[in-house]
Structure 1
Amino acid sequence: MRGAPRILPGMTTRTEEIDRTGRAEAGAARGIVITGGGTGIGRATAHAFARQGDHVLVVGRTASTLAATAEGHPGIRVLVADVTEPDAPDRIVEAALSALGRLDVLVNNAAAMGYRPLAALDRAEAERQLRTNLLAPVLLTRAALEPLAERSGTVLNIGSSGALGLRSWPDNGLYGAAKAALDFLTRTWAVELAPRGIRVVGLAPGVTDISGGPGEDGPDPGYAGFLKEIAGRTPSGRTGRPEEMAWWITQLTRPEAAYANGIVVAVDGGLSLT
Structure 2
Amino acid sequence: MTTDNTPAVVVTGGGTGIGRAIARDHARDHRVLVVGRTESALAETAGDHPGIRTLAIDITTPDAAAVVVATALREFGRLDVLVNNAGAATPAPLSAVDPTTTAEQFAVNLSAPIFLTQAALDALAETRGTVVNISSAGSTGGRAWPGFSVYGAAKAGLEFLTRTWAAELAPRGIRVVAVAPGVVESGMGLRMGSTPEQYAAFLAEVSAATPVGRVAQPEEIARWVRTLTAPEAGFATGAVFVVDGGMSLG
TM bracket, shorter-chain basis: over 0.9
1:154 maps to what in 2?
130
Give the CA deviation at 1:218: 7.6
CA distance in 1 between counterparts of 2:170 and 2:141 reads 25
Letter matched to residue 46 of structure 1:
A
CA distance in 2 between counterparts of 1:69 and 1:219 reads 22
When residues 137 and 214 of structure 1 are mapped into structure 2, their CA distance, relative to the original with a 3 A threshold, is farther
When the two structures are aligned, how many residues end up with a matched partner?
Answer: 248
1:253 maps to what in 2?
229
CA distance in 1 between counterparts of 2:193 and 2:220 reads 22
Work out whether residues 20 and 45 of structure 2, in 8 Å CA contact, stay in contact via their aligned partners in 1.
Answer: yes
2:182 maps to what in 1?
206
Q: Does 1:47 align with 2:21?
A: no
Give the CA deviation at 1:72: 1.0
SS of match in other structure, 2:27: helix
Work out whether residues 90 and 192 of structure 2, in 8 Å CA contact, stay in contact via their aligned partners in 1.
Answer: no
Work out whether residues 33 and 107 of structure 1, in 8 Å CA contact, stay in contact via their aligned partners in 2.
Answer: yes
Q: How does 1:181-260 map to 2 (within 5 A)?
A: 181-210=157-186, 212-214=187-189, 217=191, 220-221=194-195, 222-260=198-236
Structure 2: stretches of 5+ with no match in the other structure: none
Structure 1: stretches of 5+ with no match in the other structure: 1-12, 17-27
SS of match in other structure, 1:144: helix
When residues 261 and 273 of structure 1 are mapped into structure 2, their CA distance, relative to the original with a 3 A threshold, is same
Q: Does 1:38 align with 2:15?
A: yes
Q: How does 1:1-274 map to 2 (within 5 A)?
A: 15-16=3-4, 28-51=5-28, 53-210=29-186, 212-214=187-189, 217=191, 220-221=194-195, 222-274=198-250
CA distance in 1 between counterparts of 2:2 and 2:217 reads 33
Work out whether residues 2 and 74 of structure 2, in 8 Å CA contact, stay in contact via their aligned partners in 1.
Answer: no
Work out whether residues 3 and 76 of structure 2, in 8 Å CA contact, stay in contact via their aligned partners in 1.
Answer: no
Q: CA RMSD in A?
A: 1.3
Q: Deviations over 1:87-135 (max 9, x none)?
A: 1000000011011211000000000011101110110010000000000
Letter matched to residue 26 of structure 2:
F
Q: Deviations over 1:125-177 (max 9, x none)?
A: 10000000000000100010010001101000000011111100000011111
Normalising by structure 2, report the TM-score.
Answer: 0.96
Work out whether residues 40 and 214 of structure 1, in 8 Å CA contact, stay in contact via their aligned partners in 2.
Answer: no
Which portions of structure 1, spanning 4 or more consecutive aligned residues, are displaced by more than 4 angstroms? none
Letter matched to residue 10 of structure 2:
V
Q: Deviations over 1:211-237 (max 9, x none)?
A: x4358x486312222111111110010
CA distance in 2 between counterparts of 1:101 and 1:205 reads 31
SS of match in other structure, 2:62: coil
Give the CA deviation at 1:59: 0.2
